[in-house]
Amino acid sequence: MFALVDCNNFYASCERVFRPSLKDKPIVILSNNDGCVVARSNEAKALGIPMGAPAFQFRKLFEKHHIHVFSSNYALYGDMSNRVMSILGEMSPEIEVYSIDESFLKFKNCPYIHLQQHGQAMRRRILCSTGIPVSIGFAPTKSLAKVANRIAKKFHDHTGGVYVIQTEQQREKALAWLPIGDVWGIGPRHARRLQHMGVDRALKFTTLDDMWVKKNMSIVGLRLKRDLLGEPILDLEETQDKKCIATTRSFDKDYVTFEEVKERIVTFASKCAEKLRGQKSVCRTVLVFVRSNIFRKGARQYRRSIVLHLPYQTNSTIDIVHYAVEALRKIFRTGIVYKKAGVMVMDISPQQIYQTSLFSRRDPRHDILMEAIDKINYTIGTDKIKLASQDQGRTWKMKQEHLSRRYTTRLDEIIEVY
**DSSP per-residue codes, 122-133:** HHHHHHHHH---
pLDDT of residue 355: 64
Mean per-residue pLDDT, 265-271:
93
195: Cβ contacts below 8 Å, ≥ 6 apart: 180, 181
Of 240 and 129, more confident: 129
Q: Is the model's pLDDT at 210 over the cut of 70?
A: yes
CA distance 373 to 371: 6
The pLDDT-based confidence of 357 (bands split at 50, 70, 90) is: low
271: Cβ contacts below 8 Å, ≥ 6 apart: 247, 343
pLDDT in tens, 294-318: 877 888 899 999 999 998 899 999 9
Which residues does residue 137 pair with via DSSP β-bridges, in sequence order? 4, 163
Strands (E), 24-165: 27-30, 37-40, 68-71, 94-99, 102-106, 134-139, 162-164
> What's the pTM value of the predicted model, to 2 decimals?
0.73
Buried b vs exposed e over 263-295: b needs ≥16 C-beta within 10 Å?
A: bbbbbbbbbbbbbbbeeebbbbbbbbbbbbbee
Contact 267, 320 (CB under 8 A): no
CA distance 151 to 342: 40
pLDDT in tens, 34-92: 889 999 999 999 999 999 989 889 999 999 999 999 999 988 999 999 999 999 999 99
CA distance 196 to 41: 32
List C-alpha distances in Å: 371 to 349, 389, 390.
19, 20, 19
In which element (H, E) is residue 270 found?
helix 258-278
Mean per-residue pLDDT, 213-217:
93
Between 39-43, 44-48, 195-199, 357-361, the lowest mean confidence (pLDDT) is in 357-361
The sign of the torsion formed by the CA atoms of 220, 226, 227, 231 equals negative
Of 112 and 209, more confident: 209
pLDDT of residue 417: 79
CA distance 124 to 161: 11
pLDDT of residue 33: 77
Q: What percent of the chain has pLDDT over 70?
A: 93
CA distance 355 to 116: 52
Between 60-74, 126-140, 399-413, the lowest mean confidence (pLDDT) is in 399-413
In which element (H, E) is residue 220 found?
helix 210-228
pLDDT of residue 360: 63
How distant is the alpha carbon of residue 260 from its chain centre?
29
How distant is the alpha carbon of residue 129 from its chain centre?
24
Mean per-residue pLDDT, 135-149:
96
The single-letter code of the amino acid at 21 is S
In which element (H, E) is residue 46 found?
helix 42-46
Q: Is the model's pLDDT at 266 over the cut of 90?
A: yes
Average pLDDT, the chain: 89
Between 50-54, 110-114, 154-158, 291-295, the lowest mean confidence (pLDDT) is in 110-114
The sign of the torsion formed by the CA atoms of 389, 391, 396, 399 equals negative
Between 114-123, 222-231, 376-385, the lowest mean confidence (pLDDT) is in 376-385
Mean per-residue pLDDT, 238-264:
83
Q: How many CB atoms lie within 10 A of CB 103?
A: 24
Mean per-residue pLDDT, 275-300:
89
List C-alpha distances in Å: 321 to 186, 187, 244, 291.
40, 37, 16, 19
Q: Is the model's pLDDT at 183 over the cut of 80?
A: yes
